[in-house]
Structure 1
Amino acid sequence: MEVAVASPEYHRIRDIIASRRNTSGRPVNIEKFRANMESTARGLPPGVDGTMVDADGVTAELQAVSDAAKGKLVIYFHGGGYIGGSIASHRNLTGHLALQSNLSVLSVEYRLAPEHPHPAPVEDAVTTYQWALSQGYQAADIVLAGDSAGGGLTAGCLVSLREQQLPLPTAGVLISPW
C-alpha cells in the first residue's frame, strides 16, 4: 500500500493558516484581520487592465483583457467574512478570472460590517447590478459571482433581485458561500 506524503507547499500553507488562526477565545480584532487580508494582496496579472469606476456610489474596478467578449460581464463580490476583504485583496484572483474567461470582471468594494451591518452589502450588490444594466449590459449577459462571504452576498443579491422583480442575471456562482 502506498501512502501519500504531503508536499512541502502543503506544510507551508498549513503553517501560514495556523499562524493566523484565532485560538485566544477573544473576538477577532477587525483591524488586524483586515490588515492580514490586505497583506496577501497581489496585483493584476499581466495582460489585464483595471479601471476604477463609481457604480452609483459603490466603488468597483472593471478588469478586462484587450480582446474581452463585448457586452458580457462577471460581477464579483470578494470574501472576507463580511468584515474584511477588498478589491485589492482579491485583485489577482479576479484578474485571473478575467484572463481565463475572456470576460470583463467588475470587482465590487461593498460596505463592510460592523460599520455597515446587513442589509448594506446586499444593497451595494443590487446597486452595482442595476448600474451594470444602466451601462448597457443585458441581464442575460451578466454573471454574479463571489467567494465565501461574497458567495453568500451573491445569493442575497439574487434573492433581492427576484423579490424586487428585476431581471435576473444569467447565472450565480457561489464559491464556498456563507
Structure 2
Amino acid sequence: MKALRTLLAIAGLAASLSAHAGVIETSKVTDFNQVNYFEPLGQSFVAEDAAIKFAFRYMPLNTWYANDPLEISLVAGAGVGGAVLATETFSLASNYDGFYDIDFSAVALTVGQSYTAVLRVPGDSPFWGIYTSDDSYAGGTAYQSGSPAGWDTIFRVTPVGQQNEVPEPGSLMLAGLGLAALRLARRKPAAK
C-alpha cells in the first residue's frame, strides 16, 4: 500500500508539471478595425503558459485592394512599444475569415507577465480587418494606432500542447505511473 501511495504522489507531481492553464479567447464581436489604417494594432494579455500560439480573428475588408501579407510581433509588456521577442510575416487566402494561429512557442514567456501581440501590414493595402469586442478581457486591452483603445480585439491565446500534438514526456510518465499503480492495487497480498 505504501508503494501505491508513493506512485500516486509521483503521478500527481507529473500532472502538475505538464498542466496548461487553458485557452484565453474573446468571442463577442461588436465591431471591426481595418489593419493598415489603424496600425500598429495590438492586444495585450497576461501569460498563463510559457509556450503559446496567438491568433487574431481576421476578415477580408476592402477586397478591391491587393491582398498584402500581414506581420505580427510578440512584444514584452503591455503596449506596442516593448522589446520585440519574435516576428512573423504571413499571408492569408483572400476569402479567409477566422482565427489564424501564429506559433510563438520558441519564446519562453513568464507566467503572470504582460505581453502584446502587434499587427501591421508591411505594404500599404487596406485589404485586411480584424474583429473587435467590447472590453471583455480583464487581463489586457487593445491598441489602435499605438494607443490604448479601451476595448479588446477578438483574439485567442492557446498553450502549445493543447491541440492534437504529441504528448509531453510528463503526460506519458503520468499514464505509465497510473498503469503501474493499477497493477500494484490488483496484486493479492502475500499469504502468511
Shorter-chain TM range is under 0.3
Structure with the higher fraction of residues in helix conformation:
1
TM-score by length of 2: 0.23
Structure with more contact order per residue of length (Cα contacts < 8 Å, sep ≥ 6): 2
Structure with the higher fraction of residues in strand conformation:
2
TM-score by length of 1: 0.24
- When Rg is computed on C-alpha atoms for both structures, the one with the higher figure is 2
